[in-house]
Amino acid sequence: MSVLITGGAGYIGSHTVIEMLAAGYDVVVADNFYNSKPESIRRVKTLAGKEFPFYQCDIRDKDGLSEIFRKHRIDAVIHFAGLKAVGESVEKPLEYYDCNVGGTLTLCEVMRDAGCKRIVFSSSATVYGSFNPSPLKEDMQTGAVTNPYGRTKYMIEEILKDICRSDNEWTAVLLRYFNPIGAHISGQIGEDPNGIPNNLMPYVSQVAIGKLQQLSIYGDDYDTADGTGVRDYIHVADLALGHVKAVDYALKNKGAEAINLGTGTGYSVLDIVKAFEEANGIKVPYKIAPRRSGDIATCFSDPSKAKRLLGWQAQRNIDDMCRDSWRWQSQNPSGYDGLG
Ligand code: NAD
Ligand code: UFG
């Protein structure tokens, strides 16, 4: 079985390519390198010990995508490609709608024309918005999102549901990720953000290595055990394995299905700082700063549907996540640029 992985050079995509190859799938990867480097593909090939076709292709390029489907018999697509920075999406909504929504429409048209009607899509817990209480369940209302990035994820979920309603040959697995962190156990691939990181774990790692002076904790007056924000952090390798199970499922089932990929456990920002310090024996200086606009107090999953439908459950704990994040950061202080 052959699976096209869009955005396969990126953070979650690169880990998923490795797990898909290990599970015996053939993969074809397409990425425009907007937010990734060719070096990640090179390292994935070395780690997997396997070659696979790679295309530098934008998902909005219909001819380029069609050419990939002409050259390869693709049974299913895992669709990671897209823009993902919440703050940037507020500044550049057109770019986000064009790339995420427009790109997905083009991809689906090409898939339909090629007779490939199975897609596993990277959605996000952000579609639950700020009103639903945690643990978040798939049947809760979605759509009360607060920024264009979140709205693209919600819109794409609705588009894929409509496609499945209109044609019962389609399968769409809408994977709602919680907070992916960690890196491959080798320390060879990991998250390589451009500029100053927005997300907690890359920021903590860059403070630990001395690139940034101290962490700002955005608010200690939330209604949580220690006052700092609580999230459901999930190891990227577990997330990658969830995609293998989602493809297995998509090959055997029809229709649209939203599925959470989280651990079901929430950790606060201070929990993460402590866990990182203990796992790695390194101090992470921090200060308490004002709340970040748009943040919610608590967000964690009910992961039981993934267990029931996919037979998948996260295996790695917070210490594994902190250790593996640090291994990647310390071995590659400049990310893929350092070619460490
Ligand atoms: P990433 O930026 O590392 O990976 C995305 C990849 O897509 C990059 O390699 C980028 O170059 C590529 N890409 C972007 N636009 C493209 C286009 N038009 N054509 C072809 N390739 C394109 O991000 P990630 O963290 O690996 O996230 C993967 C997916 O998961 C994204 O859709 C993201 O929105 C979603 N997601 C991520 C998180 C998270 O916290 N990392 C959480 C929820 C959902
Ligand atoms: N935080 C800090 N300091 C930082 C960065 C983050 O205190 O420098 C805190 C945040 O306030 C939050 C927690 O750490 O309480 C996690 O923040 P992240 O930015 O790492 O993650 P978010 O939960 O805010 O966002 C993530 C994804 C988004 C997605 C969202 C909802 O990055 O793409 O989950 O699912 F939209």
pLDDT tens for each residue of 96-124: 999 999 999 999 999 999 999 999 999 99
Residue 199: both structure tokens together: 């997300």
Helix, strand, coil in percent for the chain, rounding step 5: 45, 20, 40
Q: Which of 25, 96, 149, 177 is catalytic?
A: 149
Sheet containing 171-177: order of strands: 54-56, 26-31, 2-6, 76-79, 118-124, 171-177, 255-261
Residues in contact with ligand 1 (CB, 6 Å cut-off) = 6-7, 9-13, 31-36, 58-60, 80-84, 99, 103, 122, 124, 177, 180
Strands (DSSP E) contained in 131-206 are 171-177, 179-181
pLDDT at residue 340 above 60? no
* Mean pLDDT score across all residues of the chain: 97
Quick one: pLDDT at residue 339? 56
pLDDT at residue 194 above 80? yes
Give the pLDDT mean for 21-50: 98
pLDDT at residue 20 above 50? yes
- 36: three-class secondary structure by DSSP: coil
- Please name which of 149, 145, 144 lies closest in space to residue 92, comparing C-alpha atoms: 149
**Residues of the chain above pLDDT 90, percent:** 97
Give the pLDDT mean for 230-244: 98
Annotation marks residue 128 as catalytic: no
Alpha carbon of 38 to ligand 1 centroid (Å): 15
Quick one: pLDDT at residue 337? 86
* pTM score of the predicted model: 0.98
